[in-house]
């Protein structure tokens, strides 16, 4: 989102999550977009390859109307001045993003296709109690869902050495096509099925966090184990 900060002063941004395939691998792509003065869309985000949970960061733009889209990819959120690890070129229209991923030298690597359509979770049931740690960040989750209905949610994180923490509890369920959503004020927590994982992600939950704290998305496997994302795609 730092890449879009200059645009946010005058243009409303939106976030798109899409699941699909990158070559033969299931993947998730998250794009934050903002409309520019000429009608094009400025984009920044990432894609996550399953089941390795490795990520690549993206930035680029999409043309108005026909949605011709080019996204540079790299291993860090700030791509300016760094050599790209690849490029995604395709069409982003009607909730679908499809095209081809190229190597830095221009060689075709693999085809991709993503869609905003996710599996329904009306019958989803799970009881999850887990912890995950990556460097100075740690996260703990207590989640219970029965038949697509939230029974309990307690999600906490802590950042060392500051000790700043987040605590998300007492959320109310809201309707969502292709997943489950729980809210408290502006804070929204979304649960979606992606490949062999269920992804739990928070948005606009800064009031539930200390000044340096945040909530990294958690990926829950079929056994109820939680994992955090890794830095580089393999």
**Is residue 121 in a domain?**
no
CA distance 43 to 217: 20
At 197 the pLDDT is: 94
Residues 214, 150 within the same domain: yes
pLDDT tens per residue, range 112-168 = 999 999 999 999 999 999 999 999 999 999 999 999 999 999 999 999 999 999 999
Q: Domain range spanning residue 100?
A: 2-115
Give 9's pLDDT tier (boundaries 50, 70, 90).
very low
Q: Which of 86, 115, 144 is the last residue of a domain?
A: 115
Tell me if 165 is assigned to some domain: yes
Specify if 37 maps to a domain. Answer: yes
At 10, the pLDDT band (50, 70, 90 cuts) reads very low
Domain shared by 107 and 6, yes or no: yes
The full DSSP string for 150-214 is EEEEEEEEEETTTTEEEEEE--EEE--TTSEEEEETTEEEEEEEETTEEEEEEES-GGGB-TT--
Judge whether residue 233 has pLDDT over 50: no
Q: Of 104, 83, 99, 89, nearest to 43 (Cα)?
A: 89
Q: pLDDT tens digit string along 192-231?
A: 999 899 999 999 999 999 988 999 999 999 999 999 986 4
Query: Is pLDDT of 82 > 90?
Result: no
pLDDT tens, 84-93?
A: 999 999 999 9
The per-residue pLDDT for 66 is 86
At residue 5, does pLDDT exceed 60? Answer: no
177 lies in the same domain as 151 = yes
> Are residues 99 and 133 both part of a single domain?
no
29, 96: one domain: yes
Q: Does a structural domain hold residue 71?
A: yes
How much is the pTM?
A: 0.85
Number of domains in the chain: 2
Round to whole Å and give the CA distance between 155 and 184: 13
Specify whether 87 is located in the same domain as 9. Answer: yes
Average of pLDDT values for 47-62? 93
Look at residues 73, 52, 69 and name the one whose alpha carbon lies nearest to residue 61: 69
Q: Quick check: 147 and 123 in contact, CB under 8 A?
A: yes
Does some domain include residue 93? yes
Three-state DSSP state, 5: helix
Alpha-carbon Rg of the chain, whole angstroms? 18
**Interior CA angle at 215 toward 47 and 78, to 5°?**
45
- Asked which of 90, 115, 140 is the last residue of a domain, the reply is 115
Q: Among residues 115, 137, 167, which one ends one of the domains?
A: 115
Based on the fold, state whether residues 154 and 221 are members of the same structural domain: yes
Instruction: Look at residue 4 and tell me whether its pLDDT is greater than 50.
Output: no
> Is 234 a member of any domain?
no
Same domain, 8 and 90: yes
Question: Does 155 lie in the same domain as 68?
Answer: no
């Amino acid at each position: 989102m730092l890449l879009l900060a200059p645009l946010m002063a005058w243009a409303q941004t939106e976030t798109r999550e899409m699941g699909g395939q990158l070559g033969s691998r299931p993947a998730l792509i998250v794009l934050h977009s903002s409309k520019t003065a000429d009608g094009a869309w400025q984009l920044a985000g990432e894609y996550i390859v399953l089941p390795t949970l490795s990520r690549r960061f993206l930035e680029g733009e999409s043309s108005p109307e026909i949605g011709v889209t080019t996204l540079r990819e790299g291993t860090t959120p700030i791509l300016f001045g760094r050599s790209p690890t690849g490029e995604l070129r395709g069409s982003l229209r009607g909730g679908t993003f499809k095209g081809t991923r190229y190597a830095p030298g221009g060689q075709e690597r693999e085809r991709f296709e993503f869609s905003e359509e996710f599996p329904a979770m009306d019958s989803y049931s799970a009881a999850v109690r887990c912890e995950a740690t990556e460097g100075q960040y740690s996260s703990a989750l207590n989640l219970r869902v029965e038949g697509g209905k939230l029974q309990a949610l307690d999600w906490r994180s802590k950042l060392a050495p500051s000790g700043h923490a987040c605590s998300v509890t007492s959320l109310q369920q809201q309707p969502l096509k292709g997943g489950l959503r729980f809210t408290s004020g502006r804070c929204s927590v979304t649960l979606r099925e992606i490949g062999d994982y269920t992804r739990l992600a928070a948005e606009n939950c800064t009031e539930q966090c200390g000044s340096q704290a945040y909530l990294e998305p958690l990926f829950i496997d079929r056994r109820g184990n939680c994992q955090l994302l890794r830095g580089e795609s393999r």
